[in-house]
Amino acid sequence: MLDYLNAAALIQASYLVTAFLFIMGLKRMSSPVTARSGILWAGAGMLVATLATFFYPGMSNYPLIIIAVAIGGSIAWISGRRVAMTDMPQMIALYNGMGGGAAAAIAAVELYRGGEMSHTEATLAVVGAIIGAISFSGSLIAFAKLQGLIRKAVRFGGQQLLNLLLLAGAIVCAVMIASGINASPAVITGLFALALVLGLSMTLPIGGADMPVVISLYNALTGLAVAFEGFVLGNAAMIIAGTVVGSAGTLLTQLMARAMNRSLGNVLFSGFGDTGGAATQGTVTGSMKSIDAADVGVMLAFAQKVIIVPGYGMAVAQAQHKVWELSQLLIDRGVTVRFAIHPVAGRMPGHMNVLLAEAGVPYDLIADLEEVNSEFETADVALIIGANDVVNPVARNDKSSPIYGMPILNADKAKNTIVIKRGQGAGFSGIENALFYLDNTRMLYGDGQAAVSQLIAAVKAA
Amino acid sequence: MTGIVALYIFMLAAFTGYEVIAKVPVILHTPLMSGSNFVHGIVLVGAMVALGAATSPLEKTIGFIGVLLAAGNAVGGYAVTERMLEMFKASGARKGGGAKGSH
């Protein structure tokens, strides 16, 4: 076929093309107008690189490679096509964990083989191994938590100390391998075992509400691990793509943490809700007052301005299509309707926009926190569907609350606040919501979809 | 590849990643995280090279798992990103550029 030099040069050239396509793809994905084509650019880049790699000089084990690609690819394709939009965050966590695991596997193959490596290569190989392994096991925990397979945040005394010891142990193994003091299979195995356990024990204590930040962080870490292993293999496409994702992911993680008013250190090293619970319950006074759908229907039909605050609960109840139907009815009656989206509505920044887009809600009706917060004072009705912590006024004034300081939507400032809720329980984070007890708040109990259907009927009757 | 050249690549790529994402509206954060998740699926080529050079049964086993996981990252990342962005296109078309609305 191709002689050695030509093949190597062609592969390098194709990786250059791939790097270009990836960067252009990400650039296009960062604007709503071009986003759709962005993934096609990036996909083309992946295809070019993968096909070129089959001609890599000195490759063997082709049957194994093809079988592994076929199995991994088809499982991921089917699961990715079938997953509901509400479950997107945990699927991203899962696919990301797989990438971290693959980076760690590359390091494992290179280290167990024990071939010649420079100190720089060996150092980056072990650092990438640790990061990749943490990202792998940590992402699996993130997936399990969001999927509801693990329901409790697991905490025990001395957890930070344990994590520190695990990290120290992994670093000792890493130094021994990289410096060439002892690169025996036992030490290599120890390195991976410690890093995998560290990923588990780091992620287990983190509550579900903080998971988006953690997934984003692991996404960035996988990128770095890929870049480091790319250096070990002398693969420029991996170095560029991995580093781009590493830095973009770090920025994205910071943006998300800021939106939740949590520092990254806070998310990772202090369990959410440690200071909450008993402390916040004392501050809530009064009782929840219920209302029936017919009254809410009249209230909505004769309002001038209605702000809808959708939360993850709305999407779980599959109510977004009904909510859009209700909104259209109101718009036809001359009511101004706005959707107010908190940065962390849904389970990730932007997740709620995806869910509303799925239902057909146009973007010009959707406003983010800064745009809409001043509008609540002029709204006749704030209709809250499946949102909880993001409208909890204790975030504004109760210093003992774990969500104190988080920017919230000022739904309590509307003339009337209607909360559609399944029951009287607390939110995702388990924090009591003071909004539900306010004088101008009424609770409409029921399943989100059924309740909105009743509202549609009531508005039609009004 | 020499160390200093790799350092240059690291540095420039890091700036590129930062700049590309710096102006992203919140509405695209989830698809973009998913998209960047897909991009690090490039680990597939590394896993293929590692398995391609594996000789012992242990290396082959780990390499096989690596390729399998990497293929999952790349293919799954593409599938979910494409699905999410698909809806953004439809919405823009229906509202005549309304996709730019909230930002």
- Using one digit for the tens of pLDDT, what is the confidence trace for A205-250? 887 778 888 999 999 999 999 999 999 998 999 999 999 999 999 9
Largest CA-CA distance found in chain B, in angstroms, rounded: 59
This complex has an ipTM of 0.87
* pLDDT for the residue numbered A389: 83
Q: What is the mean pLDDT of residues A442-451?
A: 89
Residue of B nearest to A230 (CA): B46
Q: Compute the nearest-CA separation of A157 from chain B (Å).
A: 34
Q: Is the pLDDT of residue A115 over 90?
A: no
Name the residue with higher pLDDT: B32 or A42.
A42
3 state DSSP class of A206: coil
* pLDDT for the residue numbered B71: 97
- Residue A373: Cβ-neighbour burial (10 angstroms; 0-12, 13-18, 19+): middle
Nearest C-alpha neighbor of B54 from the set A121, A115, A129, A192? A115
* pLDDT for the residue numbered A5: 65
Residue of B nearest to A356 (CA): B87
Contact criterion met (CB below 8 Å) for A333 and A452: no
Q: Which residues pair with A367 in a beta bridge?
A: A340
Choose the weakest-confidence range: A92-96, A194-198, A210-214, A456-460: A210-214
Chain B residues whose beta carbon lies within 8 Å of the beta carbon of residue A79: 76, 79
* pLDDT for the residue numbered A31: 83
Q: Is the pLDDT of residue A270 over 60?
A: yes
Dump pLDDT digits (tens) for B34-93.
999 999 999 999 999 999 999 999 999 999 999 999 999 999 999 999 998 887 654 444
Which candidate in A33, A120, A137, A245 is best for mutational testing of the B interface (most B CBs within 10 A)? A245
Tokens standing for residue A382: 């704030």
Report in angstroms the alpha-carbon separations of A407 from A329, A392, A428, B84. 31, 10, 17, 27
Q: What is the mean pLDDT of residues A8-15?
A: 90
Residue of B nearest to A242 (CA): B40
Chain A residues whose beta carbon lies within 8 Å of the beta carbon of residue B33: 92, 215-216, 219, 249, 252, 348
Chain A residues whose beta carbon lies within 8 Å of the beta carbon of residue B44: 46, 49-50, 53, 69, 102
Inter-chain residue contact A244 with B20, CB threshold 8 Å:
yes
pLDDT band for position A284 (cuts 50, 70, 90): low
The DSSP result for A370-403, as a single string, is HHHGGGGGG-SEEEEES--GGG-THHHH-TTSTT
Dump pLDDT digits (tens) for A314-342.
888 888 899 999 999 999 999 999 999 88
Q: Compute the nearest-CA separation of B48 from chain A (Å).
A: 6
Q: Is the pLDDT of residue A433 over 80?
A: yes
Give A326-335's long-range contacts (Cβ < 8 A, gap of 24+).
A326/A300, A326/A452, A326/A455, A326/A456, A326/A459, A327/A361, A327/A365, A329/A456, A329/A459, A329/A460, A330/A300, A330/A301, A330/A303, A330/A306, A330/A459, A333/A301, A333/A459, A335/A300, A335/A301, A335/A303, A335/A304, A335/A305, A335/A306
Nearest to A248 among B17, B51, B81 (CB): B17
Chain A residues whose beta carbon lies within 8 Å of the beta carbon of residue B83: 80-81, 85
Contact criterion met (CB below 8 Å) for A27 and A38: yes
How much is the mean pLDDT over chain A? Answer: 87
Q: What percent of chain A has pLDDT over 90?
A: 53
Dump pLDDT digits (tens) for A149-203.
887 777 777 788 899 999 999 999 999 999 888 888 999 999 999 999 999 999 9
pLDDT band for position A285 (cuts 50, 70, 90): low
Half-sphere exposure of A39 (CA within 13 A, CB side): 28
Q: Which residues of A404-429 are buried (b: 16+ CB within 10 A; e: fewer)?
A: bebbbbbbbbbebbbbbbeeeebbbb
Determine the Cα–Cα distance for residues A107 and A105; give it in Å rounded to an integer: 5
Nearest to A247 among B18, B51, B56 (CB): B18
Q: What is the mean pLDDT of residues A441-454?
A: 90
Inter-chain residue contact B46 with A235, CB threshold 8 Å:
yes
* pLDDT for the residue numbered A275: 38
Name the residue with higher pLDDT: A450 or B25.
A450
Report in angstroms the alpha-carbon separations of A302 from A110, A141, A264, A381. 70, 48, 45, 10
Name the residue with higher pLDDT: A395 or A66.
A66
Q: What is the mean pLDDT of residues A285-291?
A: 80
Whole-structure pTM over 0.95, yes or no? no
* pLDDT for the residue numbered A21: 96
Q: What is the mean pLDDT of residues A390-400?
A: 85
* pLDDT for the residue numbered A34: 86
Inter-chain residue contact B28 with A29, CB threshold 8 Å:
yes
Host H or E run for residue A306: strand A305-310
Host H or E run for residue B52: helix B43-52
Inter-chain residue contact B20 with A248, CB threshold 8 Å:
yes
Contact criterion met (CB below 8 Å) for A173 and A183: no
Chain A residues whose beta carbon lies within 8 Å of the beta carbon of residue B81: 29, 39
Contacts of B5 (CB under 8 A, 6+ apart): none
* pLDDT for the residue numbered B99: 38
Inter-chain residue contact A362 with B91, CB threshold 8 Å:
yes
Q: What share of chain B is helix, strand, coil (3-state, %, to 5)?
A: 85, 0, 15
Enzyme catalytic residues of A: 389
